[in-house]
């Protein structure tokens, strides 16, 4: 059915649990898999105490993000199993859903497979849902794993 799955990963337990289902789908469809991690391009302000803060340089921020992404990719590849060979892509974008959609275009995926964090009530209202944003703005099918 699908030939190229784009799978956003963030290192969360929800993301890890969905990878077994992704592996089953990839094997059944003989589909390529690309894992994507979206990092914020802007370094955060880090405070050492309440009165004094120091900034992280852009270069250091990029290094930390790249190292974290590699760790997430390594763990995700392990969760996918030996039968699924996945490519990986790190994207810098301050808007997570836009970063995922940009990655899907870049790798020419034909479906985006996402885990849902299932935020409901006030949390869902205040925090929003990145999955919902991807669904609303995607021109590709979006498969949501619960």
pLDDT tens across 102-120, in order? Answer: 999 999 999 999 987 665 5
Which residues, in sequence order, are bridge partners of residue 34? 6, 87
Residue 6 φ then ψ, to 5°: -100, 125
Tell me the pLDDT tens digit for each residue of 34-81: 999 999 988 876 655 555 556 778 888 899 999 999 999 999 999 999
pLDDT of residue 127: 43
Report helix angle 13-29 to 58-80, nearest 10. Answer: 60
Is 49 or 15 the better-scoring residue by pLDDT?
Answer: 15
CA dist 25 and 9 (Å) reads 16
Average pLDDT over residues 89-102: 96
CA dist 93 and 70 (Å) reads 17
Which residues, in sequence order, are bridge partners of residue 87? 34
Indicate the pLDDT class of residue 121, thresholds 50, 70 and 90.
low
């Amino acid at each position: 059915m699908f030939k190229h799955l784009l799978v956003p990963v963030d290192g969360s337990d929800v993301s890890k649990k969905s990878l077994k289902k992704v592996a089953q789908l990839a094997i059944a469809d003989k589909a390529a898999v690309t894992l994507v991690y979206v990092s914020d391009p802007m370094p955060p302000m880090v405070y050492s105490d309440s009165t004094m803060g120091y900034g992280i340089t852009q270069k250091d921020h990029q290094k930390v993000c790249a190292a974290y992404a590699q760790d997430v990719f390594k763990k995700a590849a392990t969760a996918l199993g030996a039968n699924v060979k996945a490519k990986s892509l790190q994207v810098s974008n301050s808007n997570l859903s836009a970063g995922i959609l940009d990655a899907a275009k870049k790798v020419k995926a034909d479906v985006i497979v996402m885990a849902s964090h299932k935020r409901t009530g006030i949390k869902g209202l205040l925090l929003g849902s990145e999955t919902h944003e991807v669904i609303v703005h995607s021109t590709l099918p979006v498969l949501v794993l619960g």
